């Protein structure tokens, strides 16, 4: 019998975060949020109890309003996610949380000066890493890796460091991955088995990812 994700509590992070330099300037990235939104919507249609925590994106969620929590910074995303860490069955970390944030955020707009300026950055919170420290044997954690080189090696490194069960490797190349409607993925599992998928729409990729998660759920239930 096929494993069902009906009523499973699933947390999904999506989109970029913004880390403010001053009230009008911030550090961010190209993430569109599409992949996370497609996964959340597909899971919702399957009857899962979905919570989507999203950074600023231009797409509209088709989930019921209370299922999407909008945040801006990495810290806000972490705080919203932490509320659910104990109660979720599955966490899917699609968000491209900014790796660094300004050490100081100015409360007023910084005035332009004639000279060059140096911006001091500090490491941002790592949401997947925090969940990885707390994850119980019955919980599943899925991460994403966007790498240009040493893709598999770096993805396995993340799998171990962040205690993921699966890492979805996606491509930053032209016409697939960040910002595009299509994606070409491969998924690496903790047993280091590797699953390759052809270039597909993000809607179809969401279904592929969910089917591998279902296999993991089945294995954990044994």
Interface with ligand C5P (CB under 6 A): 13, 74, 93-95, 97, 124-128, 143-145, 158, 162
7, 29, 175, 183: which one is catalytic?
Answer: 29
- Residue nearer to ligand C5P on the CB measure, 85 or 144: 144
Q: Minimum distance between the CB of residue 17 and ligand C5P, rounded to whole angstroms?
A: 8
Whether 115 is catalytic is: no
Spatial CB neighbours of 16, under 8 Å, sequence gap ≥ 6:
28, 29, 30, 31, 33, 55, 56, 57, 95, 96, 97, 98
- Residue nearer to ligand C5P on the CB measure, 118 or 149: 149
- Pairing mode of beta strands 49-54, 9-14: parallel
Q: Minimum distance between the CB of residue 115 and ligand C5P, rounded to whole angstroms?
A: 32
189-194: long-range contacts (C-beta < 8 A, 24 or more apart)?
A: 189/165, 189/216, 190/159, 190/164, 190/165, 190/166, 192/156, 194/152
Q: Minimum distance between the CB of residue 90 and ligand C5P, rounded to whole angstroms?
A: 13
- Residue nearer to ligand C5P on the CB measure, 126 or 204: 126
Catalytic residues: 29
């Amino acid at each position: 019998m096929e494993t069902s994700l009906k009523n499973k509590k699933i947390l999904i992070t999506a989109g970029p975060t913004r880390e403010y330099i001053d009230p009008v300037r911030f550090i961010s990235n190209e993430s569109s949020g599409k992949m996370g939104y497609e996964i959340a919507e597909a899971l919702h249609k399957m009857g899962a109890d979905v919570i989507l925590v999203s950074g600023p994106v231009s797409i509209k969620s088709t989930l019921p309003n209370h299922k999407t929590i909008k945040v801006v910074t990495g810290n806000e995303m972490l705080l919203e996610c932490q509320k659910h860490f104990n109660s979720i069955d599955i966490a899917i970390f699609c968000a491209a949380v900014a790796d660094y944030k300004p050490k100081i955020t100015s409360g007023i707009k910084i005035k332009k000066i004639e000279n060059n300026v140096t911006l001091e950055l500090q490491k941002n919170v790592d949401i997947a890493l925090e969940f990885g420290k707390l994850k119980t044997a019955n919980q599943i954690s899925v991460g994403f890796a966007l790498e240009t080189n040493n893709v598999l090696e770096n993805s396995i490194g993340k799998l171990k460091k962040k205690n993921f069960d699966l890492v979805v490797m996606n491509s930053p190349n032209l016409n697939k991955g960040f910002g595009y409607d299509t994606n070409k993925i491969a998924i690496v599992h903790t047993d280091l088995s590797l699953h390759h998928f052809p270039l597909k729409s993000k809607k179809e990729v969401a279904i592929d990812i969910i089917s591998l998660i279902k296999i993991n759920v089945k294995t954990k239930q044994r």
